Amino acid sequence: MLTQKEIILKTIEKTPKLLENKTELAKLLIQAYPILFTTVESTRSNISHIFNKRKKKTKDNNNTVLVFSCFHAPYQDNRAIDFLKETADKYQPKKIISLGDMADINSTSFHEVNPNMSSALDELDAATNELAKLYKEFPDMTVTIGNHDRRYARKLTSGSVPSRLLLPLNQIWNTPKWDWVEEIYIDGVRYFHGDGASKAHLNAFTTGISHVQGHLHTEFSLQSRYIQGYKKIVFGATVGCLADPKSLAMAYSKNARFKNVLGCVIIKNGEDVKLIKLEEKA
């Protein structure tokens, strides 16, 4: 069960304009969660307490997020972990977010599988070893689940195997402290993988909520716009990938017009966005 603080933050992060009227927000929370929230006065006080603390953190310039996507172990670029470490050392993020596709799981793809690639078990072992290296450097991380992360579950479903027989992703990859979720909101910004969704800037401009997405390996972009209806600037950012474009797993894109862009993104206080590109090999 969510705590009062978690419910308040989740509600505000999805609809930031609610914070403009704490009384109406309190009434909404009481109606939705009558057991946890009882009176308007006490609920308003709780809201004010939480957001006064959050404002202090913002003033300290400490609410920095490092976000990347599409690691695709064991087929990640061999500089990826060092690149993330160097970026984290420089910007000192409070939160690390991966937008998913942590492992490639090519061997169980529903697409045609390259016969020159590793067996399912060998790939599982290799991916586990590579993710262990990443976990050692970043043990506290949130991962928004991507389409490749769901491949084992989809194979079980296609084979009529009950889903409860599938281990949680934390157990599959031995990452007990990583928080695997569908999406996360921080400072009013929505982070999620992006498969099956519109592009990040289109999502931002139509909802009035800034969006950060992965999934599209060839897109490394930032677009922002002032939205009159919401009276604020929102942005859409797409973070590229960290998969090695020369690996067999990425061979499908060898002759594509647009090439993979490797990098990560730093977001400070939900509004200051910096794209950081991993330079191409010499």
Judge if 139 and 210 occupy the same domain. Answer: yes
Q: SS3 sequence, 138-167?
A: CCCCEEECCCCCCHHHHHHHHCCCCHHHCC
Is residue 173 in some structural domain? yes
**Contact partners, residue 195, CB within 8 Å, separation at least 6:** 146, 147, 215
Judge if 155 and 249 occupy the same domain. Answer: yes
Judge if 118 and 51 occupy the same domain. Answer: no
Q: How far apart are CA 106 and CA 113, in angstroms?
A: 7
Judge if 247 and 125 occupy the same domain. Answer: yes
Judge if 148 and 219 occupy the same domain. Answer: yes
Side-chain half-sphere exposure of 86, counting CA atoms within 13 A = 10
Please state the domain count of the chain: 2
Is residue 194 in some structural domain? yes
Judge if 102 and 208 occupy the same domain. Answer: yes
Judge if 123 and 49 occupy the same domain. Answer: no
Judge if 37 and 81 occupy the same domain. Answer: no
Structural domain for 249, as ranges: 64-277
The reported pLDDT for the residue numbered 39 is 84
Give the domain-ending residue among 59, 81, 104: 59
Is residue 282 in some structural domain? no
Judge if 51 and 116 occupy the same domain. Answer: no
Is residue 141 in some structural domain? yes
The angle subtended at Cα 177 by Cα 171 and Cα 179, nearest 5°, is 85
Give the domain-ending residue among 44, 59, 74: 59
Judge if 29 and 105 occupy the same domain. Answer: no
The reported pLDDT for the residue numbered 13 is 76
Judge if 23 and 116 occupy the same domain. Answer: no
Is residue 266 in some structural domain? yes
pTM above 0.85, yes or no: no
Judge if 80 and 50 occupy the same domain. Answer: no
Q: How far apart are CA 51 and CA 48, in angstroms?
A: 5
Is residue 245 in some structural domain? yes
pLDDT tens for the chain, 282 residues long, are 677 888 888 887 777 777 778 888 888 888 888 877 888 877 887 787 776 655 444 444 569 999 999 999 999 999 999 999 999 999 999 999 999 999 998 877 666 666 767 788 899 999 999 999 999 999 999 999 999 999 888 888 888 888 777 889 999 999 999 999 999 999 999 999 999 899 999 999 999 999 999 999 999 999 999 988 888 899 999 999 999 988 888 877 777 788 899 999 999 999 999 999 998 654
The reported pLDDT for the residue numbered 57 is 44
